[in-house]
Amino acid sequence: MTTVAFVLVSFTPDAPAGMERATAGLAAGLAALGHRTIIITAAPAAPARYAGATIRRLTSLRVPWPSDDQTLRATITAAADLITAELVDIYRELQVDAAVYVDALWGLGRIMPATIPHRRVLVAHVIGHQEDLELALARKPDAVLVPSASARAEATARGFDTTSWQILPNPLLTEPAPPNRQDRTRLRTDGPIRVMARPAPEKGILPLLAAAGDAAVRADRRVHGTSGASTRIEVALAKAGFELTIGSQDDTITRCTAYCDAAGISLGDGLSWDTAPRWLATAGLVIVPSLRETFGLVALESMAGGTPVIAYRTGNLPALIGDGGVLADLEAGPRALWRAAWQLRADPVRYETASRAAYYLARDYRPAHIADLLLKVVS
């Protein structure tokens, strides 16, 4: 049995963020394989256990929630010695064999202790700020992991030596049941188009909803609806424990609300990690409007339920989605996403092919399988 500690100061269950969900998925996969996991977080709402992992609260790091990069960076710098000492105490107390720092900044990679535990792994889910990654790499981790080839290519373009960096894809948190083909046939014509995102600029939600109000998009929406009604469009937005600047998420949600009201789109709060996969699986299509994406967990979760995905050809999304949906050029803008959605709904053969491909492609990301890949790095 190996004891693995994940360090992610923003970790809390149901957070609408890929790093958090991926960490929970790895914890669940390791638990299924018989290993012991600890998640170290500073988030105030974290429970004592989740996904088979023990959760430890880091008391030496005190920041407002939600927080932004600048605030967190300043706090870590000021309290670095206290935070490092607390991490060392936790590792010794729980006899940790390997520590996985789930980001250079938010995973405390920039201050990782130098000699404990036996294996120290840095994960760069996003390449992030140059200063944070440089400091983390200067700590000489035993391995550096990225979630995709596109993330590694971005780091290379930024001047980092990525020769030894390895790819560890994000896992699903749960293994979905196979989609019911009769239900999927019905969802193609009757199911809603759904979007699940957090209100951040890189997620592309504002331009997508703004375009939904265009006359051409409204007309297509009526044409491709059923029983004389427009196609249902449903959006779930939830704030994360981190944001670009304090208050930016609230501002984005306010603007999204106005766009949705004008276009007759249903806007709801974010979903729990338990309910999100079912919500995505019962959509006719899922649009992922991200302007850049180092992995794409919402796309993967949609595909796992057999739901085809509409997305831009950017970052890791082309490699992830493959034949499991339709990709539009980023330069074509959000209207191209809406057009792709209507065209796929109108083509039953292409839709069925995409649905089947989506489900089987997602099988490669089962939690125990990805956790086993991690074990080969930390063992």
Residues 287, 343, single domain; the answer is: yes
pLDDT digit string, tens, across residues 234-264: 999 988 877 778 888 899 999 999 999 999 9
CB 309 within 8 A of CB 299: yes
pLDDT at residue 361 above 70?
yes
Which one has a higher pLDDT value, 146 or 62?
146
Q: Which of 66, 61, 54 is nearest to 15 (CA)?
A: 66
- 1 CB neighbour count, 10 Å cutoff: 8
Same domain for 19 and 46, yes or no, is yes
Where residue 44 sits, what CATH number does that domain have?
3.40.50.2000
Domain boundary among 127, 146, 168: 168
For residue 67, the model assigns a pLDDT of 86
Note whether 162 and 189 are same-domain residues.
no
Q: Is residue 175 part of a domain?
A: no
At 180 the pLDDT is 87
Does residue 56 lie in a domain region?
A: yes
Q: Is the pTM of this model over 0.85?
A: yes
Do the beta carbons of residue 367 and residue 22 sit within 8 Å?
no
CA angle 240, 244, 250 (to 5 degrees): 60
Does 229 score more than 80 pLDDT?
no
The two tokens of residue 284 are 């006719």
DSSP structural state of residue 230: P
Residues 22 and 49 occupy one common structural domain: yes
Contacts 24+ apart (CB under 8 A), 59-63: 59/86, 60/85, 60/86, 61/9, 63/9
DSSP 8-class letter at 1: -
pLDDT of residue 240: 82
Q: Is the pLDDT of residue 316 over 90?
A: yes
Count of CB atoms within 10 A of residue 54's CB? Answer: 16
The pLDDT score that the predictor gives to residue 115 is 87
Domain assignment present for residue 85? The answer is yes
**One-letter amino acid identity for 83?**
I
Are 195 and 161 in a shared domain? no
Instruction: Quickly state the pLDDT bin for 211 (edges 50, 70, 90).
Output: very high
Last residue of a domain, one of 168, 201, 232: 168
Task: Note whether residue 110 is domain-resident.
Answer: yes
Q: Answer yes or no: do 52 and 150 share one domain.
A: yes
Residues 139 and 283 in one domain: no
Q: How many percent of the chain have pLDDT more than 70?
A: 99
At 53, list the tokens. 């992992």
pLDDT tens for 28-86 read: 999 999 999 999 999 988 899 999 999 999 999 998 888 889 999 999 999 999 999 99
Asked whether residue 331 is domain-assigned, the answer is yes
Task: Quote the mean pLDDT of the chain.
Answer: 94
Q: What is the mean pLDDT of residues 140-167?
A: 97
Q: Are strands 325-328 and 233-237 parallel, antiparallel or unpaired?
A: unpaired
pLDDT at residue 5 is higher than 90: yes
Per-state percent for the chain, helix, strand, coil, to nearest 5: 45, 15, 40
- Distances from the Cα of 32 to the Cαs of 52, 53, 105, 178, 193, in angstroms? 8, 11, 29, 20, 34
Beta carbons of 127 and 156 less than 8 angstroms apart: no
Any domain includes 245:
yes
Give the total number of structural domains in the chain: 2
Could you say which DSSP state residue 110 is in?
G
Instruction: Kindly state whether residue 377 falls inside one of the protein's structural domains.
Output: no
Structural domain of 263: 181-364
CA distance 376 to 379: 6
